[in-house]
Chain A
Amino acid sequence: MTLKPFRMVLLLATSLIPLALAAIFVFLVRYSWPAIHFNGFGFLARHTWSLGNLYANPTVKHGQQVPIGADYGILVFIVGTLSTSTVALAIAIPVSLGVAVFLAEGLSARLRPLFSFIVELLAAVPSVVYGLWGYSVLTPIIAHDIGPAVRDSVGRVIPFFGGSIGSGYGLLAASLVLALMVVPIIAATVRDGLARVPAETKEAAYALGATHFEVVRRAMLPMVRSNIIGACILGLGRALGETMAVLMVSGGALNYLPNNIYSPVTTMASFIVSQLDSALQDPTGMAVRSLAEIALILFIIAVLTNVLARFLTGSRNVPTI
């Protein structure tokens, strides 16, 4: 076989994609290895993140140099990540299904591109702009309108929705912003699935006397069930890793677990950004390595959710913009 330089160049460029993923994993593991040793499994279960005394001489613990009193536990951030993502998906999934049905079946063919474009624009808005809007528009509304309304209705039955509303920054604000960011992902995937349902299936349902909505509900949605589940997992992956928007509206909790839906929270992703300055002051570097351990956990979660979602949606997600 003759050596084809052109094909070699193509192959080289293509290999960079798997190599990038492998490099992310390898270098994050390598860099955070001392932190993984030092923190142990308790990393996931302790809820105190303390850099320790950065001005005293560091001590040696478990063979690692660490500042005196340093304790890295990320339970607070795990809870923050899971709670914001769960609440966000609880809101986003029903809304996305409504949007998808509306876009796929509720509009005339002429209006469909325009309305689809509006939903696609939601996916185009940069995360930091969501944060800006959440910070300056949404949080005051939560503090004065949404919060009191939820507290005085649902909050009377379920204690988690009651209690002090605070400033508006917190779990609810982060979840609402995340929900807005996740809806276009789920809605677009489900809408594309609905559009691929064969006309014969719909006609068969109509022939049985179903109304238009019954056709959608009983014949079309069951056919795209795995797409829906895959899309939701894809949305979950996005919500778990979202950084800037959450950082700007979540209020930022340290060493403190949320006690109601208005509590300040911190997610793993937003915590990494918020620690930029303070972690750099640690002369032993253990804080920076512990942050790398958080990044590693986020990476593994992202890969798992994406692999799962791709298997469920079957066909690859052709981007719709």
Chain B
Amino acid sequence: MSRPFKPSRIARRRLVSGVSWVLSGAAFLLVAVPLLDILYTVLKKGFSALSPTLFTEVTNGISGGLLNAITGTLVLVTGALVIAVPVGVLAGIHLSEFGRGAFGRAVRFLDDVLTGVPSIVLGYFSYVTLVIGVGWQFSVVAGSITLAMMVVPYIARFTEIAFSQVPNNLREAGYALGLREFTVITRIAMPLALPGILTGVLLAIAISLGETAPLIYTAGWSNFLWSGRLVHEPIGYLTYVIWSFINQPYRSAHALAFAAAFLVIVLVLLTNIAATWLLRRTRPARPAP
């Protein structure tokens, strides 16, 4: 700073800094206000559309209830978890315990890439291979596999992080006692990693609950209750109602769309809050705020 000291220059710098802080706060408001309005709109309009018949009747054209969609969403999310949790957890364990080499690095990288593949591409891939190719048609299995492909990377990543945070001396203590690799991982490391894995699973649930694009081409849509068939039978889900019914020019259809959005957002928020709580509780010393 070779320039001569001038009080006016300092005042100007302070002013610029002050204005910049105001702008950064304004940027925050610019995203916080729409978020709050989204929550407010959906919760208010959705709440006023809630009624007991939503939970007892199936959709009937543009009115009726949401029972088929609610149960369908639960079936699809469960199906996705049944596939994704074993695969994701096992992959995460492998990456953490034996993934130091080139293969581990490559998988970690591709795991990130897979999270970036647009959901509609996954949906269309499943449509081409499972719905048309294998001939399962719109079905629970096709929808669940597609959702599982979306969430496996997240479960694997959370599992890996959780296992890599288990102190190594615990594993060494186990080996020193003569335990086998399998026992060390499942009996010593697993209990400590469980909260982290659970966070990943909760996140997977939140993602599956809110997805639409990958299901349109795989699960289809059905006005009826799921009969229990895994293939050759389409199934309804809540997000379809939001997308499809808001485009109908009827008040009853709009009410159903907002009621479905209410249910989806409440479930997604609860799962996310639970996941965040679990993460903050188990990892008090996170490096980033």
Give me the interface of A with B, judged by CB distance under 8 Å.
4, 6-7, 9-14, 16-18, 20-21, 23-24, 27-28, 31, 94-99, 101-104, 106, 109, 112-113, 115-122, 124-133, 135-137, 180, 183-184, 187, 191-192, 195-196, 208-209, 211-214, 217, 234, 237-238, 240-244, 247-248, 269, 272-273, 276, 288, 291-292, 295, 298-299, 302-303, 305-307, 309-310, 316-321
A95 touches which of B27, B112, B287 (Cβ 8 Å): B27
Q: Among B30, B37, B120, B242, which residue has the most Cβ atoms of chain A within 10 A?
A: B120
Q: A94-B27, A307-B113 are contacts. A127–B213 as well, Cβ < 8 Å?
A: yes
B51 adjacent to chain A (CB < 8 Å): no
Number of A-B contacts (CB under 8 A): 286
Q: A16-B91, A98-B24, A292-B124 are contacts. A116–B119 as well, Cβ < 8 Å?
A: no
Asked whether, in the complex, the Cβ of B28 is within 8 Å of the Cβ of A131, the reply is no
Nearest B residue to A241, CB-CB: B118
CB-defined contacts of B20 to chain A, threshold 8 Å? 213, 217
Can you give 13 contacting A-B residue pairs, CB < 8 Å? A4-B181, A14-B91, A16-B152, A20-B152, A106-B24, A125-B265, A126-B265, A128-B239, A129-B38, A180-B34, A191-B288, A213-B16, A319-B157
Q: In angstroms, how far is the closest chain B Cβ from the Cβ of A14?
A: 4
- What 6 A-B pairs have minimum CB-CB distances, sorted nearest first? A241-B118, A98-B27, A126-B210, A13-B90, A213-B17, A306-B116
- The stretch that binds A, out of B62-70, B168-176, B256-264, is B256-264
B248 adjacent to chain A (CB < 8 Å): no
- The stretch that binds A, out of B103-111, B187-195, B224-232, is B103-111
SS of B interface (majority): helix
Asked whether, in the complex, the Cβ of B31 is within 8 Å of the Cβ of A183, the reply is yes
B212 adjacent to chain A (CB < 8 Å): yes
Nearest B residue to A109, CB-CB: B289
B216 adjacent to chain A (CB < 8 Å): yes
Asked whether, in the complex, the Cβ of B288 is within 8 Å of the Cβ of A192, the reply is yes
Asked whether, in the complex, the Cβ of B112 is within 8 Å of the Cβ of A128, the reply is no
Asked whether, in the complex, the Cβ of A11 is within 8 Å of the Cβ of B35, the reply is no
CB-defined contacts of A234 to chain B, threshold 8 Å? 116
Asked whether, in the complex, the Cβ of A132 is within 8 Å of the Cβ of B246, the reply is yes
Q: A99-B28, A183-B31, A292-B128 are contacts. A133–B91 as well, Cβ < 8 Å?
A: no
Asked whether, in the complex, the Cβ of B107 is within 8 Å of the Cβ of A122, the reply is no
A104 touches which of B98, B116, B156, B289 (Cβ 8 Å): B289
Asked whether, in the complex, the Cβ of A21 is within 8 Å of the Cβ of B91, the reply is no
Compute how far the CA of A94 lies from the CA of B113 in the bound complex, rounded to whole angstroms.
25
B217 adjacent to chain A (CB < 8 Å): yes
Given contacts A14-B95, A18-B107, A248-B243, 9 further A-B contacts (CB under 8 A): A21-B114, A27-B125, A122-B35, A126-B210, A126-B211, A128-B212, A137-B41, A295-B120, A302-B116
Q: In angstroms, how far is the closest chain B Cβ from the Cβ of A143?
A: 17
Q: In angstroms, how far is the closest chain A Cβ from the Cβ of B181?
A: 6
Nearest A residue to B216, CB-CB: A273
Nearest A residue to B161, CB-CB: A318
CB-defined contacts of A13 to chain B, threshold 8 Å? 86-88, 90-91, 94
Q: Among B16, B90, B109, B125, which residue has the most Cβ atoms of chain A within 10 A?
A: B125
Nearest A residue to B279, CB-CB: A321
Q: Among A17, A101, A180, A240, which residue has the most Cβ atoms of chain B within 10 A?
A: A17
B25 adjacent to chain A (CB < 8 Å): yes
Compute how far the CA of A213 lies from the CA of B31 in the bound complex, rounded to whole angstroms.
21
B222 adjacent to chain A (CB < 8 Å): no
A276 touches which of B98, B111, B114, B216 (Cβ 8 Å): B216
B212 touches which of A126, A211, A291, A303 (Cβ 8 Å): A126
Asked whether, in the complex, the Cβ of A302 is within 8 Å of the Cβ of B118, the reply is yes
Asked whether, in the complex, the Cβ of B265 is within 8 Å of the Cβ of A302, the reply is no
Asked whether, in the complex, the Cβ of B158 is within 8 Å of the Cβ of A211, the reply is no
Compute how far the CA of A306 lies from the CA of B153 in the bound complex, rounded to whole angstroms.
14
Compute how far the CA of A176 lies from the CA of B86 in the bound complex, rounded to whole angstroms.
39
Asked whether, in the complex, the Cβ of A133 is within 8 Å of the Cβ of B38, the reply is yes
Asked whether, in the complex, the Cβ of A319 is within 8 Å of the Cβ of B243, the reply is no
B269 adjacent to chain A (CB < 8 Å): yes
Compute how far the CA of A247 lies from the CA of B240 in the bound complex, rounded to whole angstroms.
13
B14 touches which of A28, A211, A288 (Cβ 8 Å): A211
Nearest A residue to B23, CB-CB: A98
Asked whether, in the complex, the Cβ of A125 is within 8 Å of the Cβ of B27, the reply is no
Asked whether, in the complex, the Cβ of B120 is within 8 Å of the Cβ of A272, the reply is yes
B121 adjacent to chain A (CB < 8 Å): yes
CB-defined contacts of A10 to chain B, threshold 8 Å? 90-91, 93-94, 97-98
Contact with A along B128-158 (1 / 0, CB 8 A): 1100110000000000000001001110111
Compute how far the CA of A195 lies from the CA of B109 in the bound complex, rounded to whole angstroms.
24
Q: A16-B152, A133-B37, A295-B125 are contacts. A211–B17 as well, Cβ < 8 Å?
A: yes
Asked whether, in the complex, the Cβ of B114 is within 8 Å of the Cβ of A209, the reply is no
B112 touches which of A247, A292, A317 (Cβ 8 Å): A317
B156 touches which of A17, A125, A129, A133 (Cβ 8 Å): A17
Compute how far the CA of A109 lies from the CA of B282 in the bound complex, rounded to whole angstroms.
19
Compute how far the CA of A14 lies from the CA of B81 in the bound complex, rounded to whole angstroms.
17
B26 adjacent to chain A (CB < 8 Å): yes
Asked whether, in the complex, the Cβ of B239 is within 8 Å of the Cβ of A20, the reply is no
Asked whether, in the complex, the Cβ of A298 is within 8 Å of the Cβ of B120, the reply is yes
B289 touches which of A112, A135, A242, A309 (Cβ 8 Å): A112
Q: In angstroms, how far is the closest chain B Cβ from the Cβ of A106?
A: 6
Compute how far the CA of A121 lies from the CA of B181 in the bound complex, rounded to whole angstroms.
40
CB-defined contacts of A320 to chain B, threshold 8 Å? 288
Asked whether, in the complex, the Cβ of B117 is within 8 Å of the Cβ of A129, the reply is no
Q: In angstroms, how far is the closest chain B Cβ from the Cβ of A311?
A: 10
Asked whether, in the complex, the Cβ of A27 is within 8 Å of the Cβ of B41, the reply is no
